[in-house]
Amino acid sequence: METGTMEKNKQVLLKSRPKGWVSEADFELAEAPIPQPGEGQVLVRNHWLSLDPYMRGRMNDTKSYSAKAEIGEVMVGGTVGEVIETRDPSLKKGDFVVGMLGWQQYGAAPAKAFRAIDTKAVPAQAYLGVVGMPGVTAWVGLLTIAEPKPGETVVVSAASGAVGSVVGQIAKIRGARAVGIAGGPEKCRYLVEELSFDAGIDYKSSSFVRDLEAATPKGVDVYFENVGGDVLEAVSRRFNPFARMPLCGLVSQYNETNPVGLRNLHSFLVNRVKLQGFIVSDKPELWPRALQELASWVASGKIKYRETVAQGLENASKAFIGMLKGENFGKQLVKLV
């Protein structure tokens, strides 16, 4: 095994379950022996770690759609890395793969747990973003639940993030109007000037509600929900009859000890709104088509993306907290090599 001069595997463990906002004290930087792959497994040196809002839910000791992170265990997370030792013929040394090895520099797992990627087609880290889980999340939620029609108005919250930015661009590809909600004038300019959204609305502005009304003169046909809270309340007042709302996330509530529920349920009733929560891992049969279309759109320039990169595993927890506060621009990554 060629692991250079590194003799230990640097890891970030879950140290404690946060009550309210996450802090860096909830994580522990540790070292462990580099694992040895068993029969049918491969050893991967991770080059990139993905940081995503769903990880906040995994830190809680509550029932959810997936297993919680355990105290003292490596934090969960998507990774891209290089196979450095293999005991399965389906993957060879030097292959780059996407997996779920978590917040660590090395990991061993069954070869079938990885997907080989072509780093010549798009950069390796893009397989954690626009042509990875976030991109597929946008594709599945928008195209299989919302099904936007040409000329309809699609609103998406957290619009400059890894999922929201793709939602708006797919909406434009399908001939709809795209209105993005983001935090701050710089992000809103990015939506319009670089991603070709029809409007970018700053939820931090005192004129947010008026700006939303001005940007949706014919109401809202689709609302792709990522944040919840006051933003959801404002958008729900703009729903057209038979609007559709894919519920992807509620990031504004993840660190709240008393999360806010939906107050304006009346609008959903009178407008016969379709509200559907979804988890993208429930639809594995859709991933190949989604990834193919996303890669094609990226290659042709129809979909653009941006990344925020933290350097080194020791900065992962700080970057994660910053992402939950909306400090990132586009996909939040950690560069490990």
Q: What angle do CA 148, 125, 35 make, to 5 degrees?
A: 125
Fold matches, 8-129+305-335 and 133-281: no
Give pLDDT, residue 263.
Answer: 86
Give pLDDT, residue 62.
Answer: 82
Average pLDDT, the chain: 95
Q: Which residues of 204-224 are buried (b: 16+ CB within 10 A; e: fewer)?
A: eeeebbebbeebbeebbbbbb
Give pLDDT, residue 7.
Answer: 75
Q: Please determine, for residue 22, whether its predicted confidence score (pLDDT) is greater than 50.
A: yes
Superfamily of domain 8-129+305-335: Medium-chain alcohol dehydrogenases, catalytic domain (3.90.180.10)
**Cβ neighbours of 284 (radius 10 Å):** 9
* Domain spanning 133-281: CATH 1.10.20.10: no
Over residues 64-121, the pLDDT tens digits come to: 777 889 999 999 999 999 999 999 999 999 999 999 999 999 999 999 999 999 998 8
Grade residue 220 by pLDDT with cuts at 50, 70 and 90. very high
Under 8 Å between Cβ of 109 and 263? no
Per-domain residue ranges of the chain: 8-129+305-335, 133-281
Of 52, 116, 121, 109, nearest in space to 80 by CA: 116
User: Do β-strands 307-311 and 331-335 pair in parallel, antiparallel, or remain unpaired?
Assistant: parallel
| Higher per-residue confidence, 67 vs 325 | 325
Over residues 128-181, the pLDDT tens digits come to: 999 999 999 999 999 999 999 999 999 999 999 999 999 999 999 999 999 999
217 φ/ψ angles, rounded to the nearest 5 degrees: -60, -25
Grade residue 6 by pLDDT with cuts at 50, 70 and 90. low
Under 8 Å between Cβ of 260 and 228? yes
